[in-house]
């Protein structure tokens, strides 16, 4: 079995920024030499997420709007009462979207549908330096 680990580094602008990672994931998989297996992406923060969407202008508008409807900035969050850092909603949003994603690898490429792109979602209320840990394993 082959294994390959690599970090994807991002500089974000803040809430809610959606960054397409599809090509970066493909590069990591290619560098791994894995032909059949799995690729894991994991964001090492509690105010960001990894998910799959169709990366197009309508959804880049719809996802932030949906997050605002479900988890509004102005609610009374316990995290905000405790820390006064303005990002209680960011933590709750991240918990629902999740920090990780596993994608099958076939023929040396991430197996994604035609309209699927892997994205990083910055949920914090300010710019951040982020690390997404990538790990690919499988057979060559």
117-122: strand order across its sheet: 17-20, 117-122, 48-53
User: H or E stretch including 35?
Assistant: none
Three-state DSSP class for 28? helix
pLDDT of residue 46: 98
Q: Print the domain residue range for 95.
A: 2-139
pLDDT of residue 23: 98
* Number of independent structural domains in the chain: 1
- What are the mean pLDDT values of the chain's consecutive 10-residue runs (140 residues total)? 98 97 98 98 98 98 98 96 96 98 98 98 98 98
pLDDT of residue 38: 98
> How far apart are the C-alpha atoms of 140 and 46, rounded to whole Å?
34
Decide if 24 contacts 136 (C-beta within 8 A).
Answer: no
The domain that holds 21 is classified in CATH as: 2.60.120.460
Decide if 90 contacts 125 (C-beta within 8 A).
Answer: yes
Instruction: Give 62-130 as a DSSP string.
Output: HHHHHHHHHS-TTS--HHHHHH-SS-HHHHHHHHHH-SEEEEEEETTEE---TT-EEEEEE-SSS--EE
């Amino acid at each position: 079995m082959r294994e390959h680990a690599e970090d994807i580094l991002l500089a974000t602008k803040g809430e809610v920024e959606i960054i397409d990672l599809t090509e970066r994931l493909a590069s990591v998989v290619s560098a791994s030499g894995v032909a059949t297996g799995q690729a894991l992406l994991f964001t090492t923060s509690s105010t960001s997420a990894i998910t799959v969407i169709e990366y197009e202008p309508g959804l880049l508008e719809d996802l932030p709007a949906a997050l605002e409807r479900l988890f509004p900035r102005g609610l009374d969050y316990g995290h905000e009462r405790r820390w006064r850092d303005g990002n209680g909603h960011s933590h709750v949003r991240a918990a629902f979207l999740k920090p990780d994603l596993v994608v099958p690898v076939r023929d040396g490429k991430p197996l994604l549908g035609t309209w699927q792109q892997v994205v990083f979602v910055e949920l914090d209320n300010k710019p951040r330096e982020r690390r997404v840990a990538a790990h690919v394993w499988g057979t060559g």
